[in-house]
């Protein structure tokens, strides 16, 4: 018997062969022929930007998430800025938010000249801990900005209760959570304003794009003006009414989502249910496997919640491993598994450290989570062999580093 060939269980990072020959990213869009056709049709039409597709996309989106108004924006970040503006955030105000998010969540508070005040997260979901939120409330607090981390809705009942007692606006950053449900209600219909992103890694894409969902007609009107220079009517309305006159009533931006993107969004939205079903299937498969591996902690799902699974972030039980997160990360990348880390807590970024004096150690649960987190590939276009590759690679790498 010859033993010259390397054992298949030698890690790629140690010179073994990788689990798969091609790189599997953590997230990726799916664009089909119908999507392409819809965009081409707009390119041949009269309206490239604010034409009929904007209202059509907004109406379809509002119907899907069960809300009265949906206002599209040129990105999720622009939509967050619009929500911060509509909430009335201004210099001297504070908005309480989570450090366990993409920087844009907190940045939109700064755009308005207000101050983001971070509150620590709950250990199980890494979503805002309502008790920590309550502790951070001051006379300057005007809003709470919750994030549905990884697609698991935030603790909305408790957060809304805190907000209602004090007259605060609740903005939900649901950029991870299109299609998620909380207590039988659809995300998008629960908070005062709910923000979505259509960046290609998210559930549906328009290239770049975003949306604010709200049941409040006043917020909706302010959002529509804010995204269009603060002008109180749209060019298309004026053209059909044969009017030239318009009025700028507030200082807005050009944050419009073009018809080209909206045509893509309309098509993508039609496939959302199948997309969610696939993500939930992958998550169930991952969780069933990773529950058996002592050093891997799969993401928690609370009762009465149906997550949308934008991400599948595992946490490593580092006490059971001879390697740290960085080493496990590099080993999985060498196996061609595109793991990622979501997120470096916002207060630890140099800008926030320098501006607000954070040194690390302020938010123990978020920082401990960060040290252990690793997002595994999760997108609806993953094949069964892709899912098996991820499971194989994680099992192989963890077995090698197990204590
Ligand atoms: C993607 C994302 C954003 C920003 O959305 P863009 O469309 O990229 O501007 C904001 N918050 C969270 C939590 C996100 O994941």
Is 261 in the same domain as 383? no
Which pLDDT value is given to residue 245? 85
* Residue of 26, 75, 77 to test ligand 1 pocket, by largest number of atoms within 8 Å of CB: 77
- How close is the Cα of 342 to the center of ligand 1, in Å? 12
Beta sheet of 94-97, edge-to-edge order: 69-73, 210-214, 193-197, 169-173, 141-147, 94-97, 115-118
Which pLDDT value is given to residue 129? 98
Q: Does the residue 4 lie in any domain?
A: no
In a structure prediction context, what are the per-residue pLDDT tens digits for the chain, which is 403 residues long?
333 444 448 999 999 999 999 999 999 999 999 999 999 999 999 999 999 999 999 999 999 999 999 999 999 999 999 999 999 999 999 999 999 999 999 999 999 999 999 999 999 999 999 999 999 999 999 999 999 999 999 999 999 999 999 999 999 999 999 999 999 999 999 999 999 999 999 999 999 999 999 999 999 999 999 999 999 877 677 777 778 888 999 999 999 999 999 999 999 999 999 999 999 999 999 999 999 999 999 999 999 999 999 999 999 999 999 999 999 999 999 999 999 999 999 999 999 999 999 999 999 999 999 999 999 999 999 999 999 999 999 999 999 999 9
Is 98 in the same domain as 238? yes
Which pLDDT value is given to residue 5? 41
pTM over 0.75: yes
- How close is the Cα of 275 to the center of ligand 1, in Å? 19
Is 201 in the same domain as 138? yes
Q: Name all residues whose Cβ lies below 6 A of ligand 1.
A: 75-77, 101-102, 104-105, 147, 173, 175-176, 197, 199, 210
Q: Does the residue 116 lie in any domain?
A: yes
Residue closest to 275 by CA, chosen among 199, 378, 175: 378
Last residue of a domain, one of 215, 244, 269: 269
Is 120 in the same domain as 153? yes
Q: Does the residue 279 lie in any domain?
A: yes
DSSP character string of 164-219: HHHT-EEEEE-TT-TT-EETTEETTSSSSEEEEE--TTSSS--SS-EEEEES-HHH
Last residue of a domain, one of 269, 300, 327: 269
DSSP character string of 237-273: HHHHHT-----B-S---B-PPPHHHHHHHHHHHHTHH
Tally DSSP H helices, then E strands, for the chain: 14, 13
Is 238 in the same domain as 310? no
If one counts the domains in the chain, the total is 2
CATH of the domain at 140: 3.40.640.10
Is 320 in the same domain as 333? yes
Q: What are phi and psi of 142, to 5 degrees?
A: -120, -25
Q: Does the residue 202 lie in any domain?
A: yes
Is 278 in the same domain as 131? no
Q: Does the residue 2 lie in any domain?
A: no
Q: Does the residue 256 lie in any domain?
A: yes
* Residue of 149, 199, 268 to test ligand 1 pocket, by largest number of atoms within 8 Å of CB: 199
Q: What amino acid positions are annotated as catalytic residues?
A: 202
| Residue identifier of the C-alpha nearest atom 6 of ligand 1 | 76
Q: Does the residue 299 lie in any domain?
A: yes
Last residue of a domain, one of 252, 269, 286: 269
Q: Which residue matches tokens 């890694």?
A: 201
Is 202 in the same domain as 280? no
Is 171 in the same domain as 182? yes
Burial class (CB in 10 A: 0-12, 13-18, 19+), 263: buried
- Which domain, by its residues, includes 367? 12-28+272-401
Q: Does the residue 216 lie in any domain?
A: yes
Which pLDDT value is given to residue 3? 39
Is 234 in the same domain as 307? no
Is 264 in the same domain as 280? no
Q: Packing angle between helix 52-65 and helix 259-270, nearest 10 degrees?
A: 30
CATH of the domain at 282: 3.90.1150.10
Is 289 in the same domain as 140? no
């Amino acid at each position: 018997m010859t033993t010259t060939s390397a054992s298949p269980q030698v890690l790629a990072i140690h010179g073994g062969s990788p689990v798969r020959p091609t790189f599997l990213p953590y997230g990726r869009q799916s664009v089909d022929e119908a999507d392409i056709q819809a965009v081409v049709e707009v390119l041949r039409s009269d309206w490239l930007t604010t034409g009929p597709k904007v209202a059509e996309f907004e109406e379809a989106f509002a119907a899907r998430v069960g809300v009265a108004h949906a206002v599209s924006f040129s990105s999720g970040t622009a939509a967050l800025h619009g929500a911060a503006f509509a909430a009335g955030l201004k210099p001297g105000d504070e908005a309480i938010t989570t450090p366990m998010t993409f920087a844009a969540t907190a940045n939109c508070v700064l755009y308005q000249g207000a101050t983001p005040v971070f509150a620590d997260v709950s250990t199980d979901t890494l979503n805002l801990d309502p008790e920590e939120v309550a502790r951070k409330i001051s006379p300057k607090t005007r809003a709470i900005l919750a994030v549905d981390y990884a697609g698991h809705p935030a603790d909305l009942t408790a957060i809304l209760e805190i907000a209602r007692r004090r007259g605060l606006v609740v903005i939900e950053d649901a950029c991870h959570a299109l299609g998620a449900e909380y207590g039988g209600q659809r995300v998008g219909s629960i908070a005062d304003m709910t923000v979505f992103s259509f960046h290609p890694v998210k559930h549906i894409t328009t290239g770049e794009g975003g949306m604010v969902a709200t049941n409040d007609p006043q917020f909706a009107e302010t959002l529509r003006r804010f995204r269009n220079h603060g002008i109180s009517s749209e060019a298309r309305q004026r053209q059909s009414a044969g009017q030239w006159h318009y009025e700028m009533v507030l200082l807005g931006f050009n944050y419009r989502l073009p018809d080209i993107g909206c045509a893509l969004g309309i098509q993508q939205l039609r496939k959302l249910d199948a997309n969610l079903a696939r993500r939930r299937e992958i998550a169930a498969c991952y969780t069933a496997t990773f529950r058996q591996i002592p050093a891997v902690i799969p993401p928690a799902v609370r009762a009465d919640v149906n997550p949308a699974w934008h991400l599948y972030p595992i946490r490593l039980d580092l006490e059971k491993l001879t390697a740290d997160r960085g080493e496990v990360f590099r080993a999985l990348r060498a196996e061609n598994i595109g793991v990622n880390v979501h997120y470096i807590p916002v207060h630890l970024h140099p800008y926030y450290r320098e501006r607000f004096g954070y040194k690390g150690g302020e938010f123990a649960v978020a920082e401990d989570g960060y040290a252990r987190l690793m997002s595994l590939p999760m997108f609806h276009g993953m094949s069964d062999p892709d899912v098996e590759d991820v499971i194989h690679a994680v099992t192989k790498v963890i077995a090698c580093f197990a204590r």
